[in-house]
Amino acid sequence: MCDSSSRTANCETAVSNLNEFQGRIGYRFKDEGQLTLALTHPSMGHEHESAVHNNQRLEFLGDAVLQLVLSDHLYAKFPQVGEGLLTKTRAELVNRSTLAEQARLIGLGQLLILSKGEEQNGGRQRPSTLADAYESFIGAVFLDAGYDYTRKFIMSQFTERLEHMDTPTALRNPKGELQEILQSISPDHPHYEQTNVRGPDHDRVFECAVFYRNHEIGRGVGKSKKAAESRAAAEALDRYKSGELDKKVF
């Protein structure tokens, strides 16, 4: 693809971007072709009217690897929990919204190889495209590095979602659970404020606080504003359930 002199600059940029990406995630592919394939959207074949290889097969593989790794973790962590709740918990971990967020956190959207039409229609930001690309990327890591490394990589990627789990319900929706509890007390809504953001553009850390009746009731940090808000809500829930929050707040 880089033979034409007119494409030299673009190819050099693409190679540089892949090098930067691999340095950032802490893994360098032995077969970089696997990474390129994981980033190739099916629209490329439609645009060129040819059998351009795309990431759909890797998506299938990556989905299975993700489910296996997270199922293994949940099975070991919650020995008393039944199949139904384990299945629901896993589904919340690997839904399209979650996987799209994981893709954004590692900057996959910027690297996707899209047709001109898909690019113009916002493919780099589309949640379904990002989620598929994340699964494909995991499939590529699995083929290139094997299961043990891929398991460690996945667990590091999901650390924020897993580290504060005492029960599977902690995975669900702390913001929703907090709102339900507070609205059972009064019609007042909690509100969230971003209190700080630090770090370079590619590795931001957000801090958010949740307030209720003008009182701060929880604070959290995360790699995205959404994650920080979720952690703030989780802290507020913990404080409420332990009785730590001052009763005058309620």
Residues carrying an active site annotation: 63, 135
Match 């504003």 to its residue by tokens. Answer: 225
Q: How far from chain centre, in Å, is Cα 180? A: 25
Cα–Cα distance measured from residue 242 to residue 217, given in angstroms and rounded to the nearest whole number: 13
* Two tokens, residue 54: 């795309």
Strand pairing class (215-222; 191-198): unpaired
Cα–Cα distance measured from residue 86 to residue 171, given in angstroms and rounded to the nearest whole number: 11
What's the CA angle centered on 139, arms 137 and 140, to 5 degrees?
65
DSSP 23-74: HHHT---SSHHHHHHHTB-THHHHHHTS----SHHHHHHHHHHHHHHHHHHH
